[in-house]
């Protein structure tokens, strides 16, 4: 049964693979499952039909037969539980992979979103110059801790897992800020993930949506 996901018709990231459909596309590519995409406008995301699928009016959603999910972490976990390639077979190792998924979403992502949203929305505010370094420091505190834990390893816990998939996509949200580059092992970690064929296929697929929207 081919799943259907939703993604932005016109992604605000301009095809850089920072929107959260990237996590779901990448997970589906890692496990070799085809998928259909339904593109939604911002207006459609706030309309009743989409809110029935996603109460917070966001993307992505995931529909597979009678199952309907939102939250990229939960969707990636469902995909990982349904097909080999994203979660270890060993029960304890699987719990640790899921731990890194939650760490990406609940601990590493919030200061990154706060920093990038402030950079986008508060640039002309009188407090911007004072607050921005504090927000950046909060991000750096997290990255220092993550860098210390990763050390010289290729992935966060043994083989590549859904935990790495979530963490890399969160780190990529720092985009062109250059912050990740100050942590060489984290920069290499992101590059290692981007070198995976499944990542490249997912990136190309979301990029194609942006290019089609730009050259209608």
158 binds a copy of itself (CB under 8 A): no
Q: Which of 13, 44, 63, 114 binds a copy of itself (CB under 8 A)?
A: 114
Q: Which is nearer to a copy of itself, 9 or 142 (CB)?
A: 142
Secondary structure of the chain in HEC code, one letter for each residue: CCEEEEEECCCCCCCCCCCCHHHHHHHHHHCCCCEEEEEECHHHHCCHHHHHHCCCCCCCEEEECCEEEECHHHHHHHHHHHCCCCCCCCHHHHHHHHHHHHHHHHHHHHHHHHHHHHHHHCCCCCCHHHHHHHHHHHHHHHHHHHHHHHCCCCCCCCCCCHHHHHHHHHHHCCHHHCCHHHCHHHHHHHHHHHCCHHHHHHHHHHHHHHHHHHCC
In the complex, least distance from residue 172 CB atom to a copy of itself, rounded to whole angstroms: 16
143 touching a copy of itself, by CB under 8 A: no
CB of 118 to a copy of itself, least distance (A): 10
Nearer to a copy of itself, 128 or 213 (CB): 128
Task: Please report, as residue ranges, which positions from 38 to 97 form the binding site for a copy of itself (by CB under 8 A).
Answer: 51, 55-58, 66-67, 69-75, 77-78, 81, 92, 95-96
Query: Should residue 123 be labelled a site residue for a copy of itself when binding is judged by CB under 8 A?
Result: no
**Binding residues for a copy of itself, how many (CB under 8 A)?**
42
Interface with a copy of itself (CB under 8 A)? 51, 55-58, 66-67, 69-75, 77-78, 81, 92, 95-96, 98-99, 101-103, 105-107, 109-110, 113-114, 125-127, 130-131, 142, 145-146, 148-149
């Amino acid at each position: 049964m081919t799943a259907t996901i939703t993604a932005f018709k016109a992604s605000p990231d301009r095809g850089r693979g920072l929107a959260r459909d990237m996590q779901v596309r990448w997970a589906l590519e890692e496990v070799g499952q085809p998928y259909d995409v339904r593109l939604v406008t911002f207006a459609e995301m706030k309309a009743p039909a989409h809110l029935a699928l996603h109460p917070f009016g966001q993307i992505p959603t995931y529909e597979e037969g009678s199952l309907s999910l939102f939250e990229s972490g939960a969707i990636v976990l469902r995909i990982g539980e349904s097909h080999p390639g994203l979660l270890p077979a060993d029960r304890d190792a699987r719990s640790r992979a899921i731990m890194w998924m939650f760490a990406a979403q609940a601990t590493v992502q919030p200061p990154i979103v706060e920093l990038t949203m402030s950079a986008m929305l508060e640039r002309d505010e009188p407090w911007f110059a004072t607050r921005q370094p504090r927000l950046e420091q909060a991000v750096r505190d997290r990255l220092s801790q993550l860098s210390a834990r990763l050390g010289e390893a290729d992935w966060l816990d043994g083989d590549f897992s859904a935990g790495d998939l979530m963490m890399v996509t969160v780190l990529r949200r720092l985009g062109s800020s250059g912050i990740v580059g100050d942590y060489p092992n984290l920069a290499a970690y992101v590059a290692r993930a981007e070198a995976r064929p499944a990542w490249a296929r997912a990136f190309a697929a979301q990029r194609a949506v942006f290019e089609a929207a730009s050259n209608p």
